[in-house]
Amino acid sequence: MLSHSVYFTLKESTAANREALVAACKEFLTGHPGTVFFAAGTVESSLNRPVNVLDYDVALVVVFDSLASHDAYQVAPRHLQFVEENKPNWAQVRVFDANVEAK
């Protein structure tokens, strides 16, 4: 499987903007072929240990059954629409992709 984790930092970090991005993730990024797991939400700032990274607003985690499913998702019209509509609000986007196994 492939875990696709994306961390968005917004230009204007307000509760309304964070919730709007989470809603857009749910609208455009769910239900793609090969999706095994989907979650989107906001940073949990109360977990403020030395190892926690808190310099983002919204996290997206999508696990795909294969690299091929991930690659198809990247060029899917709904994914491209999500990027086009939301990119103007992003100050930074960090993507972490990893091959993962479930036990």
Q: Where are the domains of the chain?
A: 2-46+54-98
pLDDT at 52: 83
How buried is 64 (Cβ within 10 angstroms: 0-12 exposed, 13-18 middle, 19+ buried)?
buried
Q: Whole-model pTM?
A: 0.93
User: Could you count the other beta carbons within 10 Å of the beta carbon of residue 42?
Assistant: 16
Q: Are 42 and 22 in contact (CB under 8 A)?
A: yes
Query: Phi, psi (5° rounding) for residue 63?
Result: -110, 125
Average pLDDT over residues 44-66: 92
CATH, domain range 2-46+54-98 = 3.30.70.100
Give the pLDDT confidence of 4-24 residue by residue, as tens digits.
Answer: 999 999 999 999 999 999 999
| Tokens, residue 37 | 């797991």
pLDDT at 23: 98
Give the pLDDT confidence of 32-44 residue by residue, as tens digits.
Answer: 999 999 999 999 8
Cα–Cα distance, 94 to 33 (Å, whole number): 23
Quick one: pLDDT band at residue 65, thresholds 50, 70, 90? Answer: very high
